[in-house]
């Protein structure tokens, strides 16, 4: 069984909520004065959960500066070492904040000084590539993908348990985008298609790690969602047809998790949005959304996983996620990767009435444990309300009293 810690959106630097994740001497919007150490508590929970791998889904930095990358890399390596995770088991992707836009802006000054007829788009593309490649030169110790893709830090990592396709959805983001969003590019999308086709028959876990959303999620405040990658539908088509099991990403700082199956897909795919590990409250809906951390336990059967979700408390450190609510629409413990016919679910609920003792969540049929806790409680109440009274709520023990 493989245990992965998923983190995203560190925003090391001026957008961090704590000086533990900033360049020495750099001012920040300090929220953590007198609080329990976010970093020390993080190491503790990683050790307690026997984490074997650390996946980082992009936006390591605030502004993509060399010093942010340098100190962020040192911090990630230090956390991994203290948690007992070898550095070759750190797998990371990049996001839109990991581009040094000061480099890309040089292009604007340069183009304003040249005459007509010059290949402007080519120059712009080259400067953008240099800006997006800054992490390659400023992080030297974290292992790069064994097989490199066409974008910086994209590529493929594999072992005897899983294959990870790392996509860089932020490398085409520019300082002058009309609206911020992700883009893979035709070259990277084609590389992803060929790579997944090559491993289509492979029975190991197939995982995608990237930064931006592949589709729109419901946000806790109605608003326009501009978090998607441009090629979201094409990405989903390739992933579904070639047997991807799990897609991990970040970007919007709003954690989510769900399993989806579409026509033409090999099997269901689970999508996990990691939220943000350390960004300040301004970038978490003014603090309505907590900083989050996730543990993923991969079952031997590819596609089936258990997700454990944590939130940071200044008074307690990293604790189990408290509430499934619009700001954090997750349970602390969730089983994902399977979808069941409603009739099978209803039959399992009806069988619960034969028990005269307490009913424990961990002893339920699998089809019920793959529901969210809110959905499970609602289904039990709706289906059995005419004949039984439900005492208690899952995941705590429940009694069904015949009326």
Is the domain of 163 the same as that of 280? yes
d(CA 280, CA 385): 45
Instruction: Grade residue 51 by pLDDT with cuts at 50, 70 and 90.
Output: very high
Please provide the distance, in angstroms rounded to a whole number, between the alpha carbons at the two ends of the chain.
Answer: 44
Say what angle helices 342-351 and 373-384 make with each other, to 10 degrees. Answer: 70
Instruction: Grade residue 222 by pLDDT with cuts at 50, 70 and 90.
Output: confident
Q: Is 70 exceeded by the pLDDT of residue 179?
A: no
352-358 contacts: CB < 8 A, separation 24 or more? Answer: 352/380, 352/384, 352/400, 353/384, 353/387, 353/388, 353/400, 353/402, 355/400, 357/399, 358/392, 358/397, 358/398, 358/399
Q: What sign has the CA pseudo-torsion 38, 39, 44, 49? A: positive
Is the domain of 239 the same as that of 108? yes
d(CA 183, CA 119): 22
Is the domain of 346 the same as that of 270? no
Contact, 156 vs 146, CB < 8 A? yes
Is the domain of 264 the same as that of 290? yes
Q: What is the CATH number of the domain that holds 269?
A: 3.60.21.10
Quick: pLDDT tens for 78-119: 999 999 999 999 999 999 999 998 888 887 777 666 655 667
Is the domain of 318 the same as that of 351? no
Q: Which carries the bigger pLDDT value, residue 174 or residue 151?
A: 151
Predicted model pTM:
0.95
Is the domain of 220 the same as that of 89? yes
> Stretch 229-235: mean pLDDT, rounded?
95
Question: Range of 15's domain?
Answer: 2-336
> Stretch 162-180: mean pLDDT, rounded?
86
Domain boundary among 282, 309, 336: 336
Q: What angle do CA 18, 16, 81 make, to 5 degrees?
A: 70
d(CA 295, CA 7): 9
Say what angle helices 120-132 and 101-111 make with each other, to 10 degrees. Answer: 160
Is the domain of 151 the same as that of 202? yes
Is the domain of 351 the same as that of 311? no
Contacts of residue 82, defined as CB under 8 A and 6 or more positions apart, other chains included, come to 43, 47
Instruction: Grade residue 250 by pLDDT with cuts at 50, 70 and 90.
Output: very high
Contact, 252 vs 274, CB < 8 A? no
Q: How many domains does the chain have?
A: 2
Q: Is 90 exceeded by the pLDDT of residue 356?
A: no
Residue 260 burial (10 A CB sphere; 0-12, 13-18, 19+) = middle
d(CA 55, CA 207): 11
d(CA 225, CA 212): 11
Is the domain of 353 the same as that of 232? no
Residue 101's alpha-carbon distances to 213, 275, 369, in angstroms, are 22, 23, 46
Q: What is the CATH number of the domain that holds 367?
A: 1.10.10
Q: Is 90 exceeded by the pLDDT of residue 165?
A: yes
Domain boundary among 336, 360, 379: 336
Instruction: Grade residue 323 by pLDDT with cuts at 50, 70 and 90.
Output: confident
């Amino acid at each position: 069984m493989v245990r992965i810690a998923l983190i995203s959106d560190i925003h090391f630097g001026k957008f961090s909520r704590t000086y533990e994740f900033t360049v020495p001497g750099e001012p920040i919007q300090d929220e953590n004065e007198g609080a329990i150490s976010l970093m020390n508590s993080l190491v503790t929970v990683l050790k307690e959960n026997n984490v074997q791998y650390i996946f980082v889904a992009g936006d390591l930095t605030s502004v993509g500066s060399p010093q942010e990358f340098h100190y962020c890399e040192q911090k990630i390596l230090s956390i991994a070492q203290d948690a007992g995770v070898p550095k070759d088991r750190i797998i990371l992707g990049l996001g839109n904040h990991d581009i040094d836009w000061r480099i890309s802006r040089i292009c604007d000054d340069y183009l304003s000084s040249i005459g007509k007829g010059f290949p402007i788009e080519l120059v712009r593309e080259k400067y953008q590539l240099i800006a997006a490649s800054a992490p390659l030169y400023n992080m030297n110790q974290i292992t790069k993908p064994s097989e490199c893709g066409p974008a910086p830090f994209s590529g493929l990592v594999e072992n005897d348990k899983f294959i990870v396709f790392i996509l860089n959805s932020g490398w085409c983001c520019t300082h002058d985008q009309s609206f911020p969003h992700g883009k893979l590019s035709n070259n990277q999308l084609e590389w992803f298609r060929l790579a997944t086709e090559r491993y289509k028959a492979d029975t190991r876990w197939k995982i995608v790690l990237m930064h931006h959303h592949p589709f729109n999620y419901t946000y806790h405040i109605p608003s326009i969602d501009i978090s998607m990658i441009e090629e979201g539908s094409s990405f989903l088509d390739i992933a579904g047809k070639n047997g991807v099991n799990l897609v991990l990403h970040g970007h919007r700082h709003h954690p989510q998790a769900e399993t989806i199956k579409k026509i033409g897909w090999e099997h269901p795919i689970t999508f996990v949005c990691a939220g943000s590990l350390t960004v300040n409250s301004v970038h978490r809906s003014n603090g309505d959304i907590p900083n989050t951390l996730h543990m993923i336990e991969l079952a031997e059967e590819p596609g089936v996983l258990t997700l454990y979700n944590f939130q940071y408390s200044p008074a307690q450190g990293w604790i189990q996620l408290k509430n499934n609510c619009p700001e954090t629409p997750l349970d602390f413990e969730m089983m994902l990767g399977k979808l069941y016919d409603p009739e099978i679910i209803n039959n399992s609920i009806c069988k619960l009435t034969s028990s005269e003792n307490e009913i424990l969540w961990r002893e339920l049929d699998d089809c019920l444990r793959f529901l969210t806790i809110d959905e499970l409680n609602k289904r039990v109440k709706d289906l059995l309300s005419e004949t039984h009274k439900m005492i208690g709520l899952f995941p705590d023990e429940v009694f069904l009293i015949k009326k």
